[in-house]
Amino acid sequence: MELTDFNSDNRPDFIVTTCDNGEYPAPTKPYHGIRIYLTQGDTKFKHSLYPPINGAFRALPHDYDEEGDGDIDLALGNYMFGPGKAIFVPDFLTKN
């Protein structure tokens, strides 16, 4: 789980990866991916986004493009595509 202000509202949101593909060969599973929950209040969160990414094991939020807009991009570690592989999800793909 990672905390970040994903939608720039000055409240911490959280990102959860939902995968643990320890089997070989690694079967695809419908619940693999990342889930983004936006803070709605002190104890309320809204499920905002669920891009299915098979084999995802970690999401690292950061303003990777460094264009100064503060939009958060995601870099995802992934077991499914071999060693050393990762997925980059630019902020414009996660706008909803």
CB 34 within 8 A of CB 61: no
Condensed to tens digits (0 to 9), the pLDDT of residues 21-50 reads 666 666 677 777 788 888 898 788 888 877
Q: DSSP of the chain, one letter per residue? A: -EEE-TTSSSS-EEEEEE----SSS----TT-EEEEEEE-SSS-EEEEE--B-TTEEEEEEE-TT--SS-PPEEEEEESTT-TT-EEEE-GGGS--
- Please give the average per-residue pLDDT across 80-96, as a whole number: 51
Q: What is the dihedral of CA 70, 34, 56, 74, to 10 degrees?
A: -10
What residue spans define the domains of the chain? 2-93
- Please give the average per-residue pLDDT across 65-69, as a whole number: 67
Confirm whether pTM is higher than 0.75.
no
